[in-house]
Amino acid sequence: MSNQIQQRRYWAWSRRGSALIAGIALLAAGLGACSESSETGTTGSSGVPGGGDDCNKGSVVACIGDDTTLGKIAHSPVAAKGDPILIGMINQEAGAAGAFPELSAADRAAVAFINNELGGVNGRPIQLEVCDTKFSPAGSIACAQQMIEKKVVAVTGGIDVFGDGIKILSDNGVPFVGGIPVSTASASVPTSFQFSGGIWGALLAFAHYATNNLQAKSVSILYTDFGPITDGANTTKDVLEKLGVKVQMVPFPVITTDYLTPITQAVQSNPDAIIVGTADTGCVPSFRAAEELKTKAALFFTGACAAPKILESAGASATEGAYFNIEQILPKPGTVDPDTRLYNLVLAKYAPTLDPASAGTVAFRSTMNLYMQMASLGSKATDRSALISSFRKAVDHPSFNGHSYTCDGKDFPGLPAICTSEEAIVQNVKGTLVPRTGWIDVGAFAAR
């Protein structure tokens, strides 16, 4: 197990094609990264598979049952009144270095649903304050200071690649809840609570499946040579080597358009499996390079590469048989997942232009989890210390559209803020993502 988790920055590829801020590549593999986008009307629910049919009853609560993570609720909308409860969000909203407004858009949709239909938090509406880090350490710090000055009850995460402000929030007793953990601080400070294993979770899930299910004896790991990605790759290498697996490490530059060279290097060792740590604009050329080289190795890609438009662009022959990580268990064909239905309906009504297949799924989950914790505290809902204590005491607590979470700091070795790191693996079979595993306990696998 690697102990080098000391980075201050994280990686990703922006939608514009530069390799920049990454955690999104691996976490967007949740419920949205492998689904069709949607442009439904205000009550439609198409988008993420398993969401059921459209509903035209005028409100979301009238269209759902009591089988969502929310449990028993009123099925007539209840509007929140009274003084607002301030909740912050820190995110990279705009800029050439990558912008992720879909995260704040999903948060706003969740808040609108909570305020307009669930009665807010014990009758009071939530007021969301979004701050843009502008892709800088100074911006992260300024956002944290702004949240402290405004006396927010908690801050939900978006993308904060540097994370300097998260430590300041912790020093001031402000809980930092969910989002995409793309910094050391987000995965480690005592007041941070995360519902994903990030880069570490994805790479280790691939390693688990390759060894346990495919009996791989040799694995090549392609990864961006940058901070936590390097650490995640090295952690995966350490675990594999303890299992007697021969590992070839193939780093490539943060900013590159040449994916043929590293994949050629990986293929030359004739491995049983190749883990490709890329996303977005790196997906299609990686698929095509692997096809061109006619490798027989099992290919593992981040869930972001399973987006329908990417698979279509790369071509059926290049993507057939590829494996991907996701952070939910896909419902069986023809069945409806209650949380997925709720998510689809909320976005259709409150954010109809937002692509349901975006990384906004992660932000939405975080806001719903925060809401459920606050609502459970009654009169102490706005007490930061009570909220932190409630999260810390959570054991197998239901998580919106994800694996249950336990925030005792023991889920993942060396990353105490990760409350759940479970992943699942799916495989592309003739254009359909077929589940190949249930939940993989990545934290336990890392602790071997």
pLDDT(66) > 90: yes
Read off the pLDDT of residues 331-345 as tens digits, 9 standing for 90 and up: 777 888 999 999 999
Q: How far is CA 101 from CA 1, 147, 159, 317, 363, in A?
A: 35, 19, 10, 34, 11
- CATH number belonging to the domain at 199-326+425-446, selected among 1.10.579.10, 3.40.50.300, 3.40.50.2300, 3.20.20.70: 3.40.50.2300
Q: How many residues does the chain have?
A: 448
Band of residue 77 on the pLDDT scale cut at 50, 70, 90:
very high
Q: For 127-143, give one letter per residue: b (16+ CB within 10 A) or e.
A: bbebbbbebebebbbbb
Q: How far is CA 40 from CA 56, 78, 346, 356, 358, in A?
A: 12, 24, 11, 10, 15
Q: How many helices (H) and strands (E) in the chain?
A: 15, 16
Read off the pLDDT of residues 13-43 as tens digits, 9 standing for 90 and up: 333 333 444 334 433 433 344 433 333 333 3
What is the C-alpha to C-alpha distance for residues 414 and 206, in angstroms, rounded to an integer?
20
Sign of the alpha-carbon dihedral angle for 282, 285, 287, 290: negative
Among 226, 261, 88, CA closest to 166: 88
What is the C-alpha to C-alpha distance for residues 426 and 437, in angstroms, rounded to an integer?
7
pLDDT(265) > 70: yes
Compute the average pLDDT of residues 253-276.
Answer: 92
Q: Give me the residue spans of the domains in the chain.
A: 31-196+337-417, 199-326+425-446
Read off the pLDDT of residues 243-256 as tens digits, 9 standing for 90 and up: 999 999 999 987 78
Q: How far is CA 432 from CA 44, 290, 324, in A?
A: 23, 20, 12
**Contact by Cβ (8 Å): 16, 340:** no
**Contact by Cβ (8 Å): 444, 418:** no
pLDDT(320) > 90: yes
Which CATH fold topology does 31-196+337-417 show? Answer: Rossmann fold (3.40.50)
Among 19, 29, 409, 6, CA closest to 192: 409
Give residue 243's identity as a one-letter amino acid code. Answer: L
Q: For 290-302, give one letter per residue: b (16+ CB within 10 A) or e.
A: bbeeebebbbbbb
What is the C-alpha to C-alpha distance for residues 289 and 294, in angstroms, rounded to an integer?
9
368 alpha carbon, distance to own chain's centre: 14
Compute the average pLDDT of residues 297-301.
Answer: 97
Compute the average pLDDT of residues 110-128.
Answer: 98
Q: Is-same-fold flag (31-196+337-417; 199-326+425-446)?
A: yes
* Residue with tokens 């669930």, as numbered in its chain: 118
pLDDT(232) > 90: no
pLDDT(7) > 80: no
**Contact by Cβ (8 Å): 405, 195:** yes
Partnered with residue 277 across adjacent β-strands are none
382 or 136, which is more confident? 382
Band of residue 52 on the pLDDT scale cut at 50, 70, 90:
low
